[in-house]
Each structure stands twice: as C-alpha cells, then as structure tokens.
Chain A
C-alpha cells in the first residue's frame, strides 16, 4: 500500500550516486547500504510507493541514523536528507519497544515543553546523586543502569540570570536575545553564564526572555511534531516580540532546529512567515561573535587544543570557519586539527541511550583521533558532544579536558582582566 505522506519532494533530488556513503558514520561501521543515507532514502521512497511496508525492520534502519547530516555536506545535489528522515520518523513515531516509546513520548510532550518540570527532575536527580542511594543503581536492570551511568553529576547551581536584561559592557554594538535551553541551564549553567559574559564584553545587550522554552530538537529528531510545533510557536512569539538583532544559541542542535522553524511551520498559515523571520535571526554564538569581531582584552591561554565540529554546527548550519577564527584570536592557543573532525562522536541527542553499541564504536574512533593530535584539550561547542566526549575521557582515562568554546573565551577574557 502506497504511503503518500512519504512521497516527499526532497526525495526527487537524490539520483543514487553514492557520494554520501563514505561520509556516513553508520555505513562506515556496517558497510551496509541499508545503513547509508542513499539506502535510507531508497527505503523511504520504496515505502512511499508501497513497494515495501514500513515495518519494524524499516524503522530500525531509519533509527540507526544519527541524524548527523554529514551526508548533506557530501551531497552534490543538495538533498536535504534531514527533512526526509524527519518526515519518515514522524510516520514511524519514537524509536524502540513499547516501553521506551512510552518514556520518550512522555518526555517529549510532558517534560521538554515544561522547563519547570525539568528543573524539578534535575533537582531530584541531584539529591539522589548526593544521597548515597547511588549504590542501589546496581539493582536496576542493565539498560537503566547504563542510562544512570551516562548521567553526569548535576551541578550545585543552575543557570539563573539575575535579570532578564544584562547590559553590554563598554560601547553597545548589538542587542541580542539568548536561548538558555532546557538541559543547558541545569547541567551546563556555567557555560551559559560564560556565553552571556562573552557577549556582554563584546558590546551586546543580552536579553534572556523568561517565556522561552525548549527548542524541540529532540522531538523533531524522534518523530514527535505535535508538541514540537507548539514549542516552536512559543519561542517564535517570545523572541520576535523582544525586538533583537539576533537570537544567540550556544548548543548546535538547538541552533540547527531553530534555523529550521520556517520549514517545521511551513504549512501553518498563521506562523509560516513569522517562523521564517525568526529563523533568519538565529545565530550560533561562534557564528555571531566571529561576524561581529571580538573586542576587549583577551588574556594569554598557553594551551594546545583540538576542535570537534559538532554535526549540527558543521553539517546542520555550515558553521566551520567561525569557531576556528575565534580560537585563533585567543593569544597562546594552538589548534591542532584531528582527523575527520566533522565526523559524529556518537552522542546525537538521545542516540547514546537508544543505540549504545554504535554510539560507543563511534566514540572510540573519536577518542583515538583526539589522542593522535596529542592535544591535552578538546573544544566542542555543543552540550551533547561535551557529555559524550567526557564519558570517553572517563572510559579511556586519557585525561583530556573538554571545553565549550564560550568557556575558553570567557577564561581568556578573565585572564585579560586580571592582567591589564
């Protein structure tokens, strides 16, 4: 039976040339066409035409994909693979068995859209981690035990800006709004603080609207679009009414998703235009700062680093040069490129939970590439990559430090301030 909903126009652009194969992390590991971008596109097309059924097996192929979109960089025809895969996942619903689908569904519709609940959950997790109850985790089933182990320590302090408008330090050059995110303020509050400080030092009035919510990236990537659209509409209303020059994001996955709100809401007559307008304002922090040009006294950071291109920055937003420009602007920092810096580290949103084996294989490759550079630090401007790389550091015990780019810039500014 044909599935017209899968007869997506983007499919027509793929001519089956195969240039995506060797750039696809899952094809590189499996050598199977079914686990390649071209193969998955072929599957979606065949399901749309009714030549195969969208079975469990079909879903497995679609969900083994990391959604890293390296294939979009490789594609000479500009096929928007991400949109094809998202459309297919929308038909399939969230991945996994009945239990994990239910958990995912609950998270996508009840947790991510309500940041208050997220905060409560992480407060409880923090209490649990501090309580000594952790020894009981051994009693959990294997899968839950692995998930428990992936959770990093919840910091003492969440991101809580003292005011919704933090003025520029020095002459004002821009007025921006900042997406504080869903998990970022809870697990990486310090990086949010660092980002805001760096923006302010560069002459930005930073607005942190209270009514903002999660960007819905995880929803969209896992086939949930109803709550996702509501979340997008809320952010659009909030940020557009702020009257800013740009909406700044320091998480690559969020930035990529928000730049595509225009596509997500293309069929919504009330929001289509507003969504495109909103998307055109979204900038990754590195993209924005490189465009603005860094000002102020950067101190000397005597260190060698390597740089991991987050997939949704390099492939999703085509932002590659700007983070490197910023690194080069910090006195004393030497960048040593790793092999295939734009290949996925295996984090990919919740992928390291849903597909631990593939995720680990990719992480091992990545850790080896980092080790070959002999750099004692890696910069990865995205929280998912940072968590994944830190778990790799823990596993290999190689002592590499994982930084967010904004964290590094903030340190340089602080040093510059201390030694004028």
Chain B
C-alpha cells in the first residue's frame, strides 16, 4: 500500500505498525469493544501529525486518534477501519505558567503528570478521572472527561482554555487561547468532547488550580444502599458542596478487597467516600456536618482519614475499583448514565431490579454527588448468549436514566457503545444540526467515523457480529 510507504517516510519505519502481532493490541481500548486496525502510526511532533493527516486523509483513508487507550466507550476502536494515529509519543509538558495559572501540554501527556509537574509549587490540575495515572490529556479533551473531583471543580471543558488542532487537510489551527474568553464563537468548547470526530488535538492550554489549605476525607459505611443514596441528596440539600462524593456498593467492595485490599468492610451494602477542601475552618465544619448527616441516615460507621496515608488508601480503593472488577469476572460492561441527584435513590433501586430481571450481576461504583452512575455489569464473554443479555440490561439501565430526566453519559462519551441510543435524547433535527457542525470542520467526516452518530459505519469488514452490537465490530 502506497500510503504505508508514505507514512514510514514521515514518522520513520519503527513508528508505523502493520504486522498482525503489532496492530492486534490496538484493537481495544478500556471498553469491551474490538476492531483490528490496518495500520497504527505514532507521530513524534506536531508537524508529523499534520503530515500524517494530510497523507492519510488525502488518500481517502479514515483516521482514528488514540491517546492512552483507557476510554470506556470504544472511542479509540477503529470500527470503521482506517489508520490509528497514536499520540502517545507527544508527551511533553511544554510550558508551565504559574502566575497565569496555565500549562501547555501535548496530547499524550498523562493526566497525573500535569499535577505532579506543578504540585511542588502548590498547584494541581483538577479533572481527575479514575484512570488519571494512565489516561492522556488529549483523550480527556476528546471525551470531556470528568472524575471524582469534578463535583466541585467541573469537567475538562471547564479547565481547557485553548486547543491546537490538526484539521482534515493537515493544517494546524489554534482555538481559544491563554485567557478565559476569546472573541467569537467558543470553538475550543466545541472541540472538547467531540470524541475525535472533528480533528486531532496536538496541544492544549489547561487551567491550573491552587492547592487548597486543607483536604479532609471520610468513609461512611452503610448497611443499606437506600440510606447511602439518601445521604447524597441530604448533603447537597444542606448546601454543602463536597469536592467529591463517591459511592461503592458491596459487589465493588468485594472486588477491591480481593484485588488490592484497602480495608473496606466487605459486609456493608454501600460505602460513601466524601471529601471536602478549602480553608481549615471550613473543612472541619463541613466534615462534621457530613458526618452528622451520615449518622442520622443510619451509617453504622464513619471513618475520618487522620493522615495523608489514610486518605491515599481510601482513594486507592476507589480509583482502582474498575480494574479490580477483574477479580470477580473476566469482563465488565460499564454504564455511564446520569440522573438528577434527587432521583438517585429510586434509580439505584431500579438498577438493582434490572439486574435481577436480566439475571446479571452488577457492581456499582460512581460519582454519587454528580448523579453520575457507573453500574458495571459483570460477565464472561465466552459464555454464549451472555453478551446479548448484558447489552440489553445496559440499555435498560440507560433508558431508566433518561426516563428519570437524566442522560446517556456523564463523562465516558458516546463512542461506539451508546451511539444507537442517541435517538432517545435527540431528535432527527438535533442530530442533523450536530452533523452539520461536524462537516464544518471535516467535510468528508473521515475523523473517527462510525462514532457518536447513530449511523452504521462507512466501511470495515465485520469478523464476528453479535446481535445488538453495531455492525463492523466484534466483541
């Protein structure tokens, strides 16, 4: 293929992968969806990204951008065929401006590295997905990623001031800038969360936050899930905005304690992890109030972290929870529905009902404060028919979220997995308007084809197509 020779000349022989034993590892991200790419390219500079895009799109071939491959909606899975452009080598923290409280990063920079780079000076980068030790800022920008602390600080788009993007013709373009607002349309805002369908992010200007004087964390243990969800409603109802308010159910606790134990009580039906940040006087008071609310709601135990080590241990359990599900089943299918906080208790009951109705085991670990649910359906892909049941159960959960006045996704994106459900929340006219926005950036829609929009992928030969899965995929 002529294109491969061209790509090799641009990025060097070693950075173009075509052998089956190389490209197969790029068939999957953090989700359960798989499609093997034909070619994987790893450019080493912004210029190389431009040339790769020009050559590839010029040859009429689609491009799927990829960061660390930790996404949970199949956004980096090349279901529509084409070339994967991995941004993993563009991993430099280019500039830190502490006075301006901004940092300029390349897309392959690992989320946690931004905070590590500025922490010695008393700053941090707020969006903190559970995968922050591995996920890339580029991937976060594409998915408008959240995290436990976005309850207080907002999601990625609230921390992205500008992005430099490579468009379909290979030309770079800056959107937004170093200051909070630039004249004209907020095109940086349009790009953040566009899931790789508009172009390739090659640089980002992100906001840095000043570390708070005091951070206090507690773990409340509940015998009944209902009591725990009620606390969430009560805490926010009392006017307290915790920095994070996270929930884990008994199944998740079991997984964490089996994988990398941190001492969560295995017999509890739910634990709630609450964190408050601010000046010391405030955090002491807020922590006590949350503790009171928990006890009134029937918490059987409230543990307040007394040291940074104790706090780190609580968070380690929470942040490792997804990965730990591997101790319970070979596969999990994570949902990302959102409901208004006040509907949390009834929605959690509904999730449990759906689990029973479909005969599937569900582990819940989620951003309760945001009403952002993550029911994880546990299963074994090798059991015939099980996947179909799992997908149906997942759809039922998302439907319940939408019916409760919520949304399909809080932070993982639509990707491949949820595109078929877009019609539940958008009309034909809505979707058409979105498609026109996309075409304004990319007239032939060759960036990450087959994602987000509820249309079948343009090309790509399905190898195995289970029922209910978008054509072109095998799971």
Contact = CB atoms under 8 A, between A and B. Distances in A.
For the complex of A and B, 10 pairs with smallest distance between CB atoms: A76-B320, A76-B323, A77-B326, A31-B88, A12-B330, A39-B25, A17-B323, A18-B70, A33-B25, A15-B326
Interface in B284-308: none
Contacts of B86: 31, 33
B131 A18 contact: yes
A55 B17 CA distance: 16
B25 A34 contact: yes
A18 B110 CA distance: 12
Nearest to B256: A76
A139 B380 CA distance: 59
Given A15-B325, A18-B134, A77-B327, A52 B320 contact: no
Interface string A26-59: 0000011110101100110010000111010110
A191 B189 CA distance: 62
Given A12-B326, A20-B134, A76-B256, 20 more contacts: A12-B330, A13-B326, A13-B327, A15-B325, A15-B330, A16-B29, A17-B30, A18-B29, A18-B68, A18-B69, A18-B131, A19-B131, A31-B42, A33-B69, A33-B86, A76-B321, A77-B324, A77-B325, A77-B327, A78-B324
A14 interface: yes
Main secondary structure of the interface of A (DSSP, over half): loop
B456 interface: no
B25 A76 contact: no
A314 B394 CA distance: 40
B474 to A, nearest CB: 11
Contacts of A22: 110, 133-134
B22 interface: yes
Interface string B245-270: 00000000001101110000000000
B21 A57 contact: yes
A21 interface: yes
A218 interface: no
B34 to A, nearest CB: 10
Interface residues of B, number: 43
Given A15-B326, A77-B325, A57 B22 contact: yes
A22 B86 CA distance: 15
Contact of A31 (B21, B30, B108, B323): B108
B30 A78 contact: no
Interface in B154-192: none
B25 A43 contact: yes
A252 interface: no
B133 A19 contact: yes
B322 interface: yes
Contacts of B69: 18, 33
Interface in B181-235: none
Interface of A: 12-23, 31-34, 36, 38-39, 42-43, 46, 51-53, 55, 57-58, 61, 74-79
A323 B332 CA distance: 39
B26 interface: yes
B131 A52 contact: no
B313 interface: no
Interface in B438-457: none
B25 A78 contact: no
B20 interface: yes
Contacts of A51: 24
A145 B166 CA distance: 48
Nearest to B325: A15
A32 B26 CA distance: 10
A43 B28 CA distance: 12
B20 A52 contact: yes
A330 B104 CA distance: 45
Contacts of B21: 34, 43, 52-53, 55, 57-58, 61
Contacts of A13: 326-327, 330
A14 B135 CA distance: 17
| Most B-side CB within 10 Å, residue of A43, A55, A77 | A77
